[in-house]
Amino acid sequence: MLYDTLLLDADGTLLDFDACEEVALHYTFAQNGLPYDREIKRVYQRYNDALWEQFERGEVSKEQLQQLRFARTLQHLQLPGDPKTLNRLFMQKLGQGGFTIPGAGEVLSALYGKVRMVVVTNGITATQHSRMQRSGLLPYIDRTFVSDETGSQKPHRQFFDYVFEHLPQLDPARTLMVGDTLHADMLGGQQAGLDTCWYEPTGCKSDEGLKITYRIVNLCDLLTIVLSEEHAYKIR
């Protein structure tokens, strides 16, 4: 086999963040006596996504991200409420969400014992560890690295250096980075000198010129890449 270690992103790759977020947002707004619908969710996601991009570039802190996403949402919608309270309730409920991407359990089970599988995720330590625990996927995972505890986040090289330092006998040439985001996962893996596998289930998005090694639309396709001698799904 070409690879003996897989670095696996969590949200959008193994964990169904959209499902977890929907439940947590609905709960948070309801607990504060606020309305909640698709438009409110759209506004929140626009500010949240923009702040996460800023966070990955090192332009805002974790604390700023958590407060500003709700502050800007409430301001935009002209709704009352305390951003800190909303964020606290949201994070509590989010940490209880263990929804997984279809096929994630089956794929990890099939790969278990054949390759070392390590989760590498941006996020809040307690929340991400709780969600992984509730997902039922942890029995297959060797280690979990969360940006909040590493001191840096994907795609920065410092995050991957931390992972490399804490994984004995890791060979970058035999390590594959698997994830759903171009910036955090594909660019991050590329900058760390790793082969990359882009999980993009719609099959529609552009790779924006990144030198991605593989592109898959179904997690089960990862089995062919890892277990087969053929270079299936290779795009360079």
Check: CB of residue 124 under 8 Å from CB of residue 88: no
**Alpha-carbon gap, residue 68 to 33, rounded angstroms:** 20
If you write DSSP's letter for every residue of 81-139 in order, what string do you get? --HHHHHHHHHHHHTT---B-TTHHHHHHHHBTTBEEEEEE-S-HHHHHHHHHHHT-GG
Token digits of residue 49? 């996504």
Which residues are catalytic, by number? 9
**Alpha-carbon gap, residue 122 to 149, rounded angstroms:** 10
CA angle 177, 158, 164 (to 5 degrees): 55
